[in-house]
Chain A
Amino acid sequence: MALVPLLLAACSTNVVVSGDYPSALTKPLPYHVGLVLNNSFTQYTFKSEEEQNVTMALGQSQSKLFDRVFTDIFANKSRLQTVKKQTATTPNPIDLMIVPSVEEVQLAMPFETRLNVFEVWIKYNVQVFNSNGEPIADWLMSAYGKTQTRFLKSEEAALDQATTSALRDAGVRLIIGFERIPEIRDWIEQKQKEQPEKNKSLAKSGDLS
């Protein structure tokens, strides 16, 4: 009887995603962003029991990615516990608050697709709030990564690599797509009209950093 859990564990795939993400080569937006990464995001673990037991802990790795990307695409970035209204007396007020969450994760393994590739799709919901704590955008963003099977390479290593590749792709979508979200574009235009002087000084500090 004691062997049963051992045998079940031997048939399951456990992955802790361990990717590292580079700095983005991009001009930062001259705003102060607040990033809210709640526990359900930082400790996110995907579990699948269809055909094969797969457990994939990607919370830490995706937190590292979002932290890196928002540090690079904005002139200033702070980590926040929750979305909170910025008052006139708040020192160094935050312009935008970002709350990402995982909507869905899908895997495709070679035994399902008959292709020599492991594929990973991740769907995020990126909620954006203004300094008053009001929602201004709800962006559903999907990312995709794959890796080919290799001789003598474990399923764990392949899934880790495919997920890291999907997270790099999520980074691409955030860097390229964030300021193209219509609501964000409108917000930036509005902000530029309201505070041209403030933007100039923040841009200068962003360039220096």
Chain B
Amino acid sequence: MKGFCCSQLFTRIFFPGLFPITCLAVVFLTGCSTSTVIDEYKVTDTHLDLNQGEQVVIMGRRHAGEYETEPDFINCIGGRLANGGQLKVMPEQEFLDSFYPWFEPRIAPLKLKRMSRILEDPMIAERIKSLGIRYMVWVDGNTETTDKSGTFSCAVGPGGGGCFGFASWDKASIYEAIVWDLKQLDEKGRVKVETKGSSYMLAVGAPIPFIAQVQSDACEGIGNRLKGFFLEGAPAESTTPASAPKRNSERMLDHRGMIKS
């Protein structure tokens, strides 16, 4: 927003005739940008143990009435975490079906205490063991459209058709992932990601969309951070002593190097 104000002032003083063109250029250049803020907390600095035959499962929270964590977002994180087969990740639906009904939204454990009670059932504990599920990552949040403006209309006639107008919309993704260790029955860390972005659609004849990839940027952010919990070389740098719990909050840059806030 600050950048826009500066360019507006600059063109008004020095190049008043170029003002509308500059406006359009600024709108489209900033149009597809997203900003991502990641907040990470790890109990320990060392990478989490994952022995041969053990795997991770990523689950979405679906107990809230007004939203649900999107299954395709969970699959996206799973894909990133699997990192081309370096890490074994069990698909969410396969896990839900294997343990039906114990992780369905109505009765899924919200806290570790409840999880430990579920694991007291020998049938469930045995299946967790036989499938080698060591870590459970719960992801809560969703992506929603926060603002919409502009108008846009299309028409078709005997001589052809076309669209005219301009529309814009803002999207925000807020997700938090919590890592549970099912062997030690404790929490290993959290990653919170907030991504915002604006998309535009300009139509003069044919519609030209400028879509901000808000959800996929959030997936990339959270997926890469989670990867850092398990794999060496993944982005999980530390500035605190190994014994102390680590909180690593950062502001990221977008693909054009602009500071995201």
Contact = CB atoms under 8 A, between A and B. Distances in A.
Interface of A: 21-27, 115-117, 146-148, 168-169, 171-173, 175-176
Nearest to B108: A172
A117 B99 contact: no
A176 B67 CA distance: 25
A169 B106 contact: yes
Contacts of A169: 104-106
Most chain B CB within a 10 A radius of its CB, from A26, A117, A148: A148
Which secondary structure dominates where chain B touches chain A? loop
Nearest to B127: A25
Nearest to A145: B105
A169 B108 CA distance: 12
Contacts of A176: 101, 107
B66 A171 contact: no
Interface string B93-120: 0001111111011110000000000000
Q: What are the nearest 5 A-B pairs in CB distance?
A: A22-B97, A172-B101, A22-B100, A172-B104, A175-B101
A147 B65 CA distance: 10
Contacts of A173: 106
Interface residues of B, number: 21
A119 to B, nearest CB: 9
Contacts of B65: 146
Given A146-B68, A148-B68, A116 B100 contact: no
B101 A148 contact: no
Contacts of B101: 24-26, 168, 171-172, 175-176
19 contacts: A24-B101, A25-B98, A25-B99, A25-B102, A25-B123, A26-B101, A26-B123, A27-B123, A116-B144, A117-B66, A146-B68, A148-B68, A148-B70, A168-B100, A168-B101, A169-B104, A171-B101, A172-B107, A173-B106
Interface in B51-66: 65-66
A25 B100 contact: yes
Given A25-B98, A148-B142, A172-B101, 12 more contacts: A22-B96, A22-B97, A25-B123, A115-B66, A116-B144, A117-B66, A117-B68, A146-B65, A147-B68, A168-B101, A172-B104, A172-B106
B201 to A, nearest CB: 13
Contacts of A115: 66
Most chain A CB within a 10 A radius of its CB, from B70, B104, B144: B104
A169 B124 CA distance: 19
Contacts of A147: 68
A4 B235 CA distance: 61
Contact of A23 (B67, B96, B100): B100
A168 B124 CA distance: 19
B103 to A, nearest CB: 10
Contacts of B144: 116
Interface string B124-160: 1001000000000000001010000000000000000
Interface in B67-108: 67-68, 70, 96-102, 104-107
Given A172-B104, A176-B107, A22 B68 contact: no
Contacts of A24: 100-101
Contacts of A26: 101, 123
A172 B99 CA distance: 11
Nearest to B97: A22
Contacts of B124: 25
Nearest to B144: A116
